[in-house]
Structure 1
């Protein structure tokens, strides 16, 4: 079992208490900008072993009766079909998923706010779709001179043009499918309108990373830089906090750069700013819940390497540029890590060279490494998964878990009836075949019971896997990296 470096129970207790205290500082109305992911925060769970992906949601549920959720999405992201990479779905679809998820646990979703709206056709279509589903939609518009023209921003020609969302709960959580959606601007626009309605609402920010009370170059904070390399976020000492309190804290460049403007906006809206620094705005208690620093350092170093491989693959697919790669390489140097530190890489490449075909290696949670090669029946990812299940269940490697009599009809169906060129079974197909075999084969059933043990394992492929296989690895909780090359020289890959 992997070691724990983070006390999740302590986090739930401290974080909910701290937010309650912040609400009480204002007129019982706080707009809380939620950075990062409220659901499925897998980055946090990878760099802080012990942090549960739904921890922030559980924390909010302790305040359930006081919470209203606003979901923000940029019209530009809708227009270009921006994708949430860890789930493989577009931002507009993620909005629907978030609404379902919030409602499923009893949290009230008040509205969806479309920001940077300039009559984009796809944004209009999404708005219409939401309204047909009975969801209130508000529109926010670009503001000339934003963010520096404070007099324009805090006026009827600025925030005043935006739709005002009437909220009913003391804590309004403003979240989004991803970064750059306009959460902060939405909070400030709402503050402007609230004060027009004589409600003295407040604003606070909940960003999990960078962690303000860890050192600037701590690997946990460096892993955040690697994760946001495409946004060019840079961790830095908060100069405003240092000047005001003589205390060194960490924030990131965008918050530090915008703070003087933000302070001026506060003063225009409220009369006086409640904060002396970007760090003051935050309510994050994550750094106080790290119980094993060494474990978190190692986990973060591993994450930086994974982010590097992901960036290389994204570049191959045309989603990332050289600047992103260079940024992560700098971060790797600061964190003192190399790709050779990832133990599953070399076995995968060695197997690929030996067999002259795609191969994969999986590092199990106990440190053992298993490999998979390409065969006439299976792709290397499918073979590696089966071999891993055998090792976990102490099943003889020579014993087949699935009879060829089950695999071959599936191959025939794929090629002759469904029009696939590749007869080899993908990971989802091999798992379905294994499930069928488990009804009559005790060893197949034993292998199926090992699936949960794959969560948290590390895997590396000598080639870029199909979207289907990547999605299954994601669902199994396996941390996958790939070499930035395709198996074939085709221009179209699916």
Structure 2
């Protein structure tokens, strides 16, 4: 794949910027970490070459100075809020995050339950953390937040919150998702630190929008597409323009909240160290773009993928029509349409020619391969096999998996597992291929090509199954579907 991002340059520049900000505040910095600290697949899609864990690697260069605090909203625990990408609740994700951080050598100091008001599920979770020997602090709702600054920055506001004991110069405050209270946690800590005579500061690390790219750069427009459910919008930071005469990009919620945030910092620290939302940030991702054209092209593809994801969700649930329409407007602003990827035209054409659901994939060298639903394999399985044969130079007409290996699996599904669909999903196909590879050199050669499909774009003429979509996601293949079902029925599993 064409690369557009320099990871090594990013790690070096980003670590240096954070060290600089720590020194600016006298040796202690609370860093609000927005977005995903690792597994940042959105960034990897719009900045080709960006490694999903590069932010983790960057922090690893500072590991001896880093302490992690994880914030989770008690109301989210009470409502069993779930991460859509992982399918797990926020409280479970906190435990997952702790395990991941610790496995990489990071010190996880504590968990803070924000907006805690004795919610039964949150209280049970607090006890569970205690049993797991995880230090837990409580932060409470503050009447009049965020506008009653007199109350907020007082003993009745931040003063009621537990003071989080920290021991390292860089305290990274992260969370399982938005609305967890990261900013409030940082400001509460600043209040307590300054009352104790400890010099400390605050900064924000948010990858998108990229402040030093133009407002209508596709990478920034792709961020609007990614956050369409939050109704975010990229805007020029008027405070940065007024204070420094510099045109930079931020998003509306940060700009709207800045006057209140600035007043809070003035109350806590005597004067605000920042004159704009852009001032608060430390993000250096824009400086590590090595091929702007490659990133523009990748971001445009992501905008279209977001549209099809929303359209499919609307088809499945009947909800989200406004998001679909907004994404149409976002595509228009970016100057792209539904046919941007050649995979769509190829998939729809193959379906029209064969009368069966079909898929198409754009390979790293630009070739487009297709696959259709057959007697034994679904469209996702057929496409995967054809793509693997293409990237490994195996003849497309060669049957790499013998029908005799597939038939027993089909019978197992229908005769014993009560499935109405005897065709193999893509994960089942890979298992059959893997078994065949133990005795067949060609099968072994084909399965070795899986890594070469990472980053490829696939499009299907119908909505594929959740199992197929999950398998493609694990392989790093980007999937879009036409918002229609294979069968005309009311219930689709």
Scaled by the length of structure 1, what TM-score is found? 0.96
TM-superposed CA distance for 1:65, in Å, is 0.2
Return closer, same or farther for 1:122/1:354 CA change in 2, 3 Å cut-off. farther
Secondary structure of 1:416's counterpart equals: helix
TM-superposed CA distance for 1:295, in Å, is 1.1
- More displaced 10-residue stretch of structure 1: 481-490 or 52-61: 481-490
Alignment partner, residue 249 of structure 1: 248
Return closer, same or farther for 1:475/1:465 CA change in 2, 3 Å cut-off. same
Structure 2 alignment gaps of length 5 or more: none
Alignment partner, residue 365 of structure 1: 364
Return closer, same or farther for 1:476/1:188 CA change in 2, 3 Å cut-off. same
Alignment partner, residue 259 of structure 1: 258
Alignment partner, residue 179 of structure 1: 178
Return closer, same or farther for 1:416/1:163 CA change in 2, 3 Å cut-off. farther
Return closer, same or farther for 1:320/1:287 CA change in 2, 3 Å cut-off. farther
Secondary structure of 2:36's counterpart equals: coil
Superposed CA deviations along residues 451-483 of structure 1, whole A, max 9, x for unmatched, are: 111101100122222222111111100011112
Structure 1 alignment gaps of length 5 or more: none
Secondary structure of 2:381's counterpart equals: helix
Alignment partner, residue 478 of structure 1: 477
Distance 1:266 1:453 in 2: 50
Question: After the TM superposition, which residues 356-435 of structure 1 pair with which residues of structure 2 at under 5 Å, given as runs?
Answer: 356-435=355-434
TM-superposed CA distance for 1:120, in Å, is 3.5
* Mapped pair 1:223 → 2:213: no
Return closer, same or farther for 1:318/1:142 CA change in 2, 3 Å cut-off. farther
Distance 1:85 1:361 in 2: 26
TM-superposed CA distance for 1:179, in Å, is 2.2
Alignment partner, residue 294 of structure 1: 293
- More displaced 10-residue stretch of structure 1: 80-89 or 131-140: 80-89
Distance 1:158 1:132 in 2: 29
TM-superposed CA distance for 1:112, in Å, is 1.8
TM-superposed CA distance for 1:439, in Å, is 0.7
* Mapped pair 1:342 → 2:341: yes
Alignment partner, residue 447 of structure 2: 448
Aligned length: 493
Alignment partner, residue 28 of structure 2: 29
Secondary structure of 2:141's counterpart equals: coil
Question: After the TM superposition, which residues 181-220 of structure 1 pair with which residues of structure 2 at under 5 Å, given as runs?
Answer: 181-220=180-219
* Mapped pair 1:56 → 2:55: yes
Alignment partner, residue 71 of structure 1: 70
Return closer, same or farther for 1:103/1:481 CA change in 2, 3 Å cut-off. same
Q: Is the 8 A contact 1:316 1:485 kept in 2?
A: yes
Secondary structure of 1:370's counterpart equals: strand
Distance 2:180 2:68 in 1: 15
Alignment partner, residue 320 of structure 2: 321
Secondary structure of 2:380's counterpart equals: helix
Q: Is the 8 A contact 1:311 1:320 kept in 2?
A: no
Q: Is the 8 A contact 1:88 1:471 kept in 2?
A: no
Distance 1:90 1:425 in 2: 30
| Cα RMSD, aligned residues only | 1.7
Distance 2:125 2:56 in 1: 26
Alignment partner, residue 138 of structure 1: 137
Secondary structure of 1:341's counterpart equals: coil
Return closer, same or farther for 1:197/1:421 CA change in 2, 3 Å cut-off. farther
Distance 2:5 2:175 in 1: 26
Distance 2:82 2:352 in 1: 34
Distance 2:296 2:420 in 1: 44
Superposed CA deviations along residues 171-221 of structure 1, whole A, max 9, x for unmatched, are: 000111222222111111121222233222110001111111111111111
TM-superposed CA distance for 1:62, in Å, is 0.5
Alignment partner, residue 271 of structure 2: 272
Scaled by the length of structure 2, what TM-score is found? 0.96
Distance 2:430 2:70 in 1: 36
Return closer, same or farther for 1:412/1:124 CA change in 2, 3 Å cut-off. farther
Secondary structure of 1:340's counterpart equals: coil
Superposed CA deviations along residues 79-114 of structure 1, whole A, max 9, x for unmatched, are: 444443334443333322221111111001111222
Distance 1:370 1:79 in 2: 47
Distance 1:326 1:233 in 2: 15
Q: Is the 8 A contact 1:464 1:482 kept in 2?
A: yes
Q: Is the 8 A contact 1:27 1:199 kept in 2?
A: no
